[in-house]
Amino acid sequence: MFENPFNLSSDCTSIPKENRVIMKTEMAQKTNSSLCSVPLLFLLTLLLTLSFSLFLLFTPSSNPNHSSSSSLFNPNISPSSHQSIKVYIADLPRSLNYGLLDQYWAIQSDSRLGSDADREIRSTQMKKTLEFPPYPENPLIKQYSAEYWILGDLMTPPWQRDGSFAKRVFVAEEADVVFVPFFATMSAEMQLEVAKGAFRKKVGNEDYERQRSVMDFLKSTDAWKKSGGRDHVFVLTDPVAMWHVKAEIAPAVLLVVDFGGWFRLDAKSSNSSSPDMIQHTQVSVLKDVIVPYTHLLPRLHLSENKKRQTLLYFKGAKHRHRGGLIREKLWDLLTNEPDVIMEEGFPNATGKEQSIRGMRSSEFCLHPAGDTPTSCRLFDAIQSLCIPVVVSDNIELPFEGMVDYSEFSVFVAVSDALKPNWLVKHLRIIPEEQRNRLRQYMARVQPVFEYDNGHLGGIGPVPPDGAVNHIWRKVHQKLPMIKEAIARERRKPEGVSVPLRCHCT
Ligand SMILES: *[C@@H]1O[C@H](CO)[C@@H](O)[C@H](O)[C@H]1NC(C)=O
Ligand SMILES: *[C@@H]1O[C@H](CO)[C@@H](O)[C@H](O)[C@H]1NC(C)=O
């Protein structure tokens, strides 16, 4: 069965060396071809001397503050790195992005779960239409706001974008990738608001019509025709985003919170004995980018951290489908432990206060699978400096290889977690010293999961080590593979079609 997203949710890159080699070779060729005249030799000597003195100036020994946060988990990126990715924004009408927010704020009454968070904003602040309206505060929508912050960064005037890893270009031919500025989550949410019943159908479904117009437009462009869409970037954070055109965007780079939506497709379409294996050929950690949920709780700084009274905390729905079945079992195993708090909550201000209190007063925060392998709870735990205990065998996490999750989280196999008394024993014996070390590392990665740049409408400079820049660094890592795939496609003789293959790993 197809559930709506409310049930679902209540719950740099490492090629600088090669680049440098290429640049050197090109330079060498240029110098050769332009004849080594005496002044040129003199100039080269001067340059060499200069760069050597610069090298002496900036060796680590002369720079004691070297271990800044950015170099810690991402040794290949330093603020001085001039790497970037060239991004062209596909020319979609405003009605497919910010226009959807205009529509959202114009709704007279919204009775859905979590909507009370927006009621006041709607009645007080939204009297006039803004060019860049705010994103909903409704936690069930806000958790998917990646689309808003990524576009906000790209729409920011160039002179405020020095810290952005994505460099905007205005000619598609100059771009490394094409960003598709479709607010797919908002589109789905708007349809669910006006007519939930039509959501799975094509007829009478405005979300489907929007998906269709995005695809019809893109497919008519030279950029898409040249690449088959492989160098196009879509934000699909909500598992039901772009539901009807998933097959058409399969070759593209998809920014997703996990592959939960595709597990569901598989579960329906295959009678395989191994339901955990992804059968589909549409998504993979090689082609796509796992992005963080937007955290909903405010950041607790390490200096504000107080002694924590409870061992383990969990707030959420007890009953979930599929992978979430373990929740119910865990709940029964843990609920009577004296230093464990398991509670159900509401997606409103009361629930938020409850979570802040729980996550700030507990050493560990449980992160079991829900309907999908991840949830925004993990990112709330990180902002609350509550050590995540991940019990979700299929989990995929953002910025892997840039952030080392085992430095601040505890990973437990579902089979172990379900043994009576195993989990609490396992956590109780983790010494305080180690807990402190995990928490210190976590404090350093908190900014990595931050989308919000603190500017109205998301328009303004982004934090250099924030989520938006990390997403673009991850996309940048995929460029050589994208170029290879496009070249392989192009050499195929007319009429030959090779079925999509899974890039499993
Ligand atoms: C599913 O089962 C049917 C009938 O038993 C079989 O013909 C078909 O090949 C199976 N499909 C898959 C994907 O295993
Ligand atoms: C949140 O929802 C619960 C359950 O409906 C209700 O008891 C509580 O008063 C609500 N809190 C706020 C601040 O509206």
Best mutation site among 118, 140, 348, 355 for ligand 2, i.e. most ligand atoms within 8 A of its Cβ? 348
As to burial, measured by CB atoms within 10 angstroms (0-12 exposed, 13-18 middle, 19+ buried), residue 405 is: buried
Q: What are phi and psi of 89, to 5 degrees?
A: -95, 120
Handedness of CA 430, 434, 439, 442 (dihedral sign): negative
Using CA positions, which residue lies closest to atom 8 of ligand 2?
Answer: 350
What integer pLDDT is reported at residue 323 of this predicted model? 56
**Prediction pTM value:** 0.82
Contact 362, 310 (CB under 8 A): yes
**Helix (H, G, I), strand (E, B), or coil: what is residue 422?**
helix
What integer pLDDT is reported at residue 111 of this predicted model? 81
Distance (Å) from CA 324 to ligand 2 centroid: 25
What integer pLDDT is reported at residue 321 of this predicted model? 66
- Determine how β-strand 85-89 pairs with β-strand 340-343: unpaired
Q: In the chain, which stretches have pLDDT less than 70?
A: 1-82, 263-281, 321-324, 371, 500-505
Token pair, residue 370, equals 């829900």
In 396-478, which residue ranges form alpha helices assigned H by DSSP?
A: 414-417, 422-428, 432-445, 467-477
Using CA positions, which residue lies closest to atom 8 of ligand 1?
Answer: 271
Percent over 70 (pLDDT), the chain: 77
User: How many helices and strands, by DSSP H and E, does the chain display?
Assistant: 20, 11
What integer pLDDT is reported at residue 125 of this predicted model? 75
Closest ligand relative to 277 C-alpha: 1
Distance (Å) from CA 273 to ligand 1 centroid: 11
As to burial, measured by CB atoms within 10 angstroms (0-12 exposed, 13-18 middle, 19+ buried), residue 338 is: exposed
Contact 127, 245 (CB under 8 A): no
Distance (Å) from CA 120 to ligand 2 centroid: 16
CA gap 331, 342 in Å, rounded: 7
CA gap 372, 323 in Å, rounded: 7
Contact 136, 104 (CB under 8 A): yes
What integer pLDDT is reported at residue 24 of this predicted model? 35
Distance (Å) from CA 500 to ligand 1 centroid: 20
- Determine how β-strand 362-368 pairs with β-strand 340-343: unpaired
CA 382-386-387 angle, to 5 degrees, is 90
| Locus of tokens 């808003």 | 148
- Residue 366: beta bridge partners? 389
What integer pLDDT is reported at residue 325 of this predicted model? 75
Distance (Å) from CA 272 to ligand 1 centroid: 8
Closest ligand relative to 274 C-alpha: 1
What integer pLDDT is reported at residue 479 of this predicted model? 97
State which ligand 2 atom lies nearest to the alpha carbon of 349: 13
State which ligand 2 atom lies nearest to the alpha carbon of 116: 14
CA gap 137, 352 in Å, rounded: 12
Using CA positions, which residue lies closest to atom 2 of ligand 2?
Answer: 346
Of 394, 347, 405, the closest CA to residue 368 belongs to 394
Model confidence pLDDT, tens digit, residues 175-192: 999 999 999 999 999 998
**Which residues are near ligand 2 (CB < 6 Å)?**
116, 346, 348-350
**Which residues are near ligand 1 (CB < 6 Å)?**
270-272
Distance (Å) from CA 345 to ligand 2 centroid: 9
